[in-house]
């Protein structure tokens, strides 16, 4: 496409469009399943090129397709300049138009009797004595992979009990701190895309929840393949992290 500066290949598919599943599109693109489903269902209907009747029914000033694409690409630049990313300058600088606008995500939520204060205290221990709470050998292996290709990673974390915005936890950067609500870390390892790891706490009245979740904006097919490759490990690790955090918080509450 001339507007984006990228060449898009059109590849004929040797089977009926109704065979295209939401799962298939979810694998090869970062489009959300709900949007993908609507697009697939839309293929069942032929659209007339003459929009005279529609324009008479809904009169409005129209813009050219290329202009619409330019506006969309401009809006996408604002994605990381948001509260989800803590308006972090580093995240904004690392964002590229080629990254998937819609984030892939994986995580796990645990119910617990622990207080929000106890959960928050435990979450803030990340990178310390407990390291990453679960699967530490896997985290170490991932870091070794980065160092093997020459990517230098920082180590350590502040000695204070509670983290602050801008703190470094190994290669991660703290970008969002909402006491007893959310802690968000910016992904700092080498990979095709941009990501963040969120710890979200909620008070449900009779119980509390701790959600550990990664959000990933893939850079093209390499970014998607990286995400798919890491999914099994992510699901295993985040489940273990959430359970371990809840258990430690419950012990301190008791």
Rounded mean pLDDT for each run of 10 residues along the chain, 254 residues in total = 70 71 77 83 78 88 89 84 94 90 95 98 96 95 87 89 97 98 96 97 98 96 93 96 98 80
Does a structural domain hold residue 12?
no
* Residue 215 phi, psi (nearest 5): -120, 130
Full strand arrangement of the beta sheet holding 104-112: 104-112, 208-218, 193-203, 182-186, 172-178, 168-169
Domain that includes residue 43, residue range: 17-76
DSSP codes of every residue in 6-24: --------SS-GGG--HHH
Domain count, the chain: 2
| Kind plus residue range of the DSSP H or E element containing 178 | strand 172-178
- The DSSP symbol for 58 reads S
Can you give 94-141 as a three-state secondary structure string? HCCCCECCCCEEEEEEEEECCCHHHHHHHHCCCCCCCCCCCCHHHHHH
Are residues 32 and 153 located together in one domain of the fold? no
Query: Does residue 232 fall inside a structural domain?
Result: yes
pLDDT at 182: 99
Closest by alpha carbon to 66, among 152, 161, 1? 1
232 and 113 inside one domain: yes
195 and 69 in a common domain: no
Same domain flag for 139 and 231: yes
CB 222: neighbour CB atoms within 10 A? Answer: 12
Say if 5 falls within a structural domain: no
Q: In terms of domains, do 22 and 129 share one?
A: no
- 95, 118: one domain: yes
Could you tell me which residues are beta bridge partners of residue 173? 168, 186
Q: ∠ CA 167-79-156 to the nearest 5 degrees? A: 15
Same domain, 66 and 87: no
Instruction: Let me know whether 228 and 204 are in one domain.
Output: yes
Domain assignment present for residue 179? The answer is yes
């Amino acid at each position: 496409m001339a507007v984006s500066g990228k060449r898009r290949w059109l590849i004929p598919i040797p089977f009926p469009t109704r065979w295209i599943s939401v799962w298939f599109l979810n694998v090869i693109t970062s489009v959300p399943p709900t949007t993908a489903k609507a697009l697939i269902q839309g293929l069942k209907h032929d659209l007339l090129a003459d929009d005279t009747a529609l324009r008479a029914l809904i009169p409005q000033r129209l813009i050219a397709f290329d202009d619409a694409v330019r506006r969309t690409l401009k809006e996408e630049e604002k994605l990381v300049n948001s509260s989800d990313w803590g308006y972090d300058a580093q995240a904004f600088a690392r964002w590229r138009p080629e990254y998937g606008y819609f984030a892939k995500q994986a995580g796990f939520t645990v119910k617990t009797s622990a207080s929000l204060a106890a959960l928050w205290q435990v979450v803030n221990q990340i990178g310390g004595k407990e390291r990453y709470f679960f699967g530490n050998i896997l985290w170490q292996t991932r870091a070794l992979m980065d160092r093997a290709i020459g990517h230098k990673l920082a180590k350590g974390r502040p000695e204070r009990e509670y983290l602050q915005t801008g703190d470094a936890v190994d290669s991660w950067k703290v970008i969002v701190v909402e006491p007893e609500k959310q802690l968000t870390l910016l992904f700092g390892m080498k990979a095709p895309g941009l990501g963040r790891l969120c710890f979200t706490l909620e008070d449900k009245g009779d119980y509390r929840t701790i959600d550990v979740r990664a959000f990933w904006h893939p850079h093209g097919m390499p970014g998607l393949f990286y995400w798919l490759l890491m999914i099994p490990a992510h699901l295993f690790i985040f489940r273990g992290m959430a359970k371990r955090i809840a258990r430690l918080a419950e012990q301190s509450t008791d």
